[in-house]
């Protein structure tokens, strides 16, 4: 993997640290230093890891998939739910043995979990072999942290001051066809169950010109799909003087020349405006898919979640979107078993799922997060009971997915060909959300083709290319 974007304007002091790191590693006889990155959690973390990889390349490391060969191991962590955290402790603990085998190995932990003081303290006290812990707003200083650790004590940098976004951090992208493009960071919504506003800080939007430049570079480098990222993309530009809101930004990206498509996530229903829906309709490069988390179908629970919309408002929004974009596909996030949720409340979630008919759902059992308001709310329903509700939801959605997929048979879609399956079929995503497999040739990969959907079998849509 190579560094595929220019580093010209990256912070000069960090470039200088990167050179010093290279020199120190060479002095210590570390030949061809290798780095292994493990990423947990959401797309924002995956995108952050691409920048982390870019900085590691600048420091002279190459990337390895083999953890046992690494001279630098980094865990980019997630704190959204408890089980993600447990996995991290297990993974970090396992690096102790690699350190014994390789005294030059550095171990680092970053991301949302590391940002929590109690977790950072735990790493400091109980994991003495963890060298560098840094928070969600300090990524751009990685060369400095490595230099400091190579020459001195363990590094713990958790400052969360919502300072200006640092641009021009080098990137090593994971793919060549579909790429992430963060447009904003942080969240101001404080949903009562969610840790994100505490660990990622306040909402900050990137400058629109920087976004356009990055998107243009991606298109010129052959990317065919740009996924715009933010905890709440619909509030892009709020509080900024440039006057570009998310709808305007979409139009600007849509105007970039080239054959590519635009996706975005995540949209908060409270900020999904008619202007935005009109924009999606008007912009041919914007896909006909909206990820619109509703979390609960009960207005009572939505209020307790601090979501700023109720069941009726959400359904009205879905109707307004379908009026403009009749075949738009929706996906959503749902939390089952929020504190105080009764079976009757849960049934309202089920009925909303049946009414809207989402293409796909991301479903979670509520996980208490220390420091959030919901974590101290009475929560009398057992985990076992919540598990039963959860299974009922999955079963309901399975039936809906089947029905929706069957209804797609006969439809022609435009597929971005992404890969060849082990059965020799070409697979890719349509302009909606669904994936389709079909017979085709290798040279289709990386291109858009028109495919007529012919059948739905074993949870997969199959089609045939039409000329």
Rounded to 5°, the CA angle 120-124-127 comes to 110
Residue 186, classed as helix, strand or coil, is coil
Compose the 273-312 pattern: x for residues touching ligand 5AD by CB under 6 A, - for all others.
Answer: --------------------x-x-----------------
Q: Per CB under 6 A, does 264 bind ligand 5AD?
A: no
Whether 299 and 311 have beta carbons less than 8 Å apart is answered as yes
Q: Per CB under 6 A, does 193 bind ligand 5AD?
A: yes
For 62, phi and psi rounded to 5 degrees?
-110, 165
Q: Per CB under 6 A, does 364 bind ligand 5AD?
A: yes
For residues 108 and 367, which CB has a smaller minimum distance to ligand 5AD in the complex? 367
Measured over the CA atoms of residue 106, residue 83, residue 175 and residue 169, the dihedral's sign is: negative
For residues 4 and 363, which CB has a smaller minimum distance to ligand 5AD in the complex? 363
Q: How many residues does this entry show for the chain?
A: 467
Name the strands in the sheet holding 106-111, side by side, starting at the edge strand that comes first in the sequence.
62-63, 34-39, 72-77, 106-111, 132-134, 155-157
Q: Per CB under 6 A, does 335 bind ligand 5AD?
A: yes
Spatial CB neighbours of 281, under 8 Å, sequence gap ≥ 6 = 324, 325
Which one of the spans 124-132, 198-206, 361-369, 452-460 is the region binding ligand 5AD (CB under 6 A)? 361-369
Radius of gyration of the chain (CA): 23
- CA 206/CA 166 separation, integer angstroms: 9
Q: Per CB under 6 A, does 80 bind ligand 5AD?
A: yes
Measured over the CA atoms of residue 438, residue 441, residue 442 and residue 443, the dihedral's sign is: negative
CB of 45 to ligand 5AD, least distance (A): 11
- CA 118/CA 122 separation, integer angstroms: 6
Which one of the spans 164-172, 274-282, 362-370, 405-413 is the region binding ligand 5AD (CB under 6 A)? 362-370
> Cβ–Cβ contacts within 10 Å for residue 88, how many?
23
108, 367, 397, 401: residue in contact with ligand 5AD (rule CB under 6 A):
367
134, 145, 260, 366: residue in contact with ligand 5AD (rule CB under 6 A):
366
CB of 195 to ligand 5AD, least distance (A): 7
For residues 193 and 346, which CB has a smaller minimum distance to ligand 5AD in the complex? 193
Query: By the criterion CB under 6 A, which residues form the site for ligand SF4?
Result: 187, 189-191, 194, 196-197, 231-232, 268
367 binds, among ligand SF4, ligand 5AD, none (CB under 5 to 8 A by kind): ligand 5AD
- CA 83/CA 34 separation, integer angstroms: 29
CB of 275 to ligand 5AD, least distance (A): 23
189 binds, among ligand SF4, ligand 5AD, none (CB under 5 to 8 A by kind): ligand SF4
194, 350, 353, 361: residue in contact with ligand 5AD (rule CB under 6 A):
194
- CA 196/CA 293 separation, integer angstroms: 15
CB of 79 to ligand 5AD, least distance (A): 9
74: phi > 0 → left, psi -120 to 50 → alpha, else beta; which? beta
How far is C-alpha 104 from the geometric centre of its chain's CA atoms?
32
Residues binding ligand 5AD: number (CB under 6 A): 12
Which one of the spans 85-93, 181-189, 301-309, 359-367 is the region binding ligand 5AD (CB under 6 A)? 359-367
- CA 134/CA 111 separation, integer angstroms: 7
Q: Name the residues that contact ligand 5AD, by CB under 6 A.
A: 80-81, 193-194, 293, 295, 333, 335, 364, 366-367, 369
């Amino acid at each position: 993997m190579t560094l595929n974007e220019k580093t010209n304007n990256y912070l000069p002091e960090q470039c200088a640290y990167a050179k010093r790191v290279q020199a120190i590693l060479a002095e210590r006889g570390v030949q061809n230093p290798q780095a292994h990155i493990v990423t947990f959690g959401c797309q924002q973390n995956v995108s952050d890891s691409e920048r982390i990889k870019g900085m590691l390349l600048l420091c002279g490391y190459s990337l390895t998939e083999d953890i046992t060969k690494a001279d630098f191991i980094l865990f980019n962590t997630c704190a959204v739910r408890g089980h993600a955290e447990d996995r991290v402790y297990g993974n970090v603990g396992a690096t102790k043995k690699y350190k014994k085998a390789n005294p030059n190995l550095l171990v680092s932990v970053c991301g949302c979990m590391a940002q929590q003081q109690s977790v950072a303290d735990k790493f400091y006290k109980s994991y003495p072999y963890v060298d560098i812990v840094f928070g969600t707003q300090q990524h751009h200083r990685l060369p400095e942290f490595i230099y400091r650790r190579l020459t001195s004590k363990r590094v713990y940098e958790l400052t969360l001051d919502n300072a200006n976004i640092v641009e021009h951090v080098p990137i090593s992208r994971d793919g060549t066809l579909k790429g992430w493009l963060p447009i904003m960071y942080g969240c101001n919504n404080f949903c009562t169950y969610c840790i994100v506003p505490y660990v990622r800080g306040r909402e900050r939007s990137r400058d629109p010109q920087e976004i356009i430049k990055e998107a243009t570079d991606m298109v010129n480098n052959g990317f065919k799909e740009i996924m715009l990222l933010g905890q709440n993309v619909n509030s892009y530009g709020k509080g900024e003087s440039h006057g570009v809101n998310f709808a305007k930004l979409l139009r600007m990206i849509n105007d970039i020349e080239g054959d590519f498509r635009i996706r975005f996530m995540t949209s908060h229903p409270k900020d999904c405006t008619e202007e935005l829906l009109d924009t999606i309709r008007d912009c041919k490069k914007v896909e006909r898919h909206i990820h619109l988390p509703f979390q609960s179908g009960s207005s009572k629970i939505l209020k307790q979640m601090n979501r700023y919309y109720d069941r009726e408002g959400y359904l009205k929004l879905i109707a307004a979107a379908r009026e403009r974009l009749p075949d738009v596909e929706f996906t959503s996030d749902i939390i089952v078993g929020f504190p105080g949720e009764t079976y009757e409340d849960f049934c309202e979630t089920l009925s909303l799922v049946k009414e809207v008919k989402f293409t796909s759902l991301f479903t979670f059992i509520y996980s208490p997060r220390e420091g959030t308001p919901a974590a101290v709310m009475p929560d009398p329903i057992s985990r076992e009971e919540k598990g039963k509700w959860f299974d009922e939801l999955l079963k309901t959605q399975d039936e809906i997915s089947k029905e929706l997929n069957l209804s797609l048979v006969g439809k022609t879609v435009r597929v971005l060909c992404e890969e060849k399956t082990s059965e020799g079929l070409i697979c890719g995503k349509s302009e909606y959300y669904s994936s389709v497999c079909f017979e085709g040739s290798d040279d289709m990969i990386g291109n858009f083709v028109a495919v007529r959907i012919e059948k739905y079998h074993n949870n997969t849509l199959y089609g045939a290319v039409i000329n």
